[in-house]
Amino acid sequence: MSVLVTGGAGYIGSHMVWELLDQGEQVVVIDNLSTGFDWAVPKRAKLVVGDVGDKDLVRDLIAKEEVDAIIHFAGSVVVPESMDNPLKYYENNTAKSRDLLEVAVNSGIDKFIFSSTAAVYGAPLTSGPIREDAILNPMSPYGSSKLMSEIMVRDVAQA
């Protein structure tokens, strides 16, 4: 299987790339390197420096590399920054996720994993681990932008 990992030059994304390679998968990484590092991507993976919101680039990459699945880590993650610049987060985390989903659907990709955040739950009323069925109540544009993307992924999967 060929897997496209967005944000694969970041901390979590690069660890996923290593795991996929260890499992024998072919891996293609797309990352704009705004917070990731090219040296974090294993040499056995193909790194494409680009933006997940560039639909033509992603479409061509999926076709050329015969991508079967997408794991989406790319996004902005700093909560205080999201409070100061919410539009950046709605663009990078929500609008670009929508563009990526559109290309995935139009390319016939039926395996799509989205990396979200506990910030979609806001401040939980209980201590300890947050249950996945807890009330969704984001308290920052970061959490809201990720929740909007979760909703899009859900709706596309149901369609």
With 0-12 CB in 10 A as exposed, 13-18 as middle and 19+ as buried, what is 62?
Answer: buried
Specify whether 142 is catalytic. yes
> 81 near 16, Cβ under 8 Å?
no
Catalytic residue among 89, 90, 121, 142: 142
Q: What's the chain's length in residues?
A: 159
- The single-letter code of the amino acid at 33 is L
Catalytic residues: 142
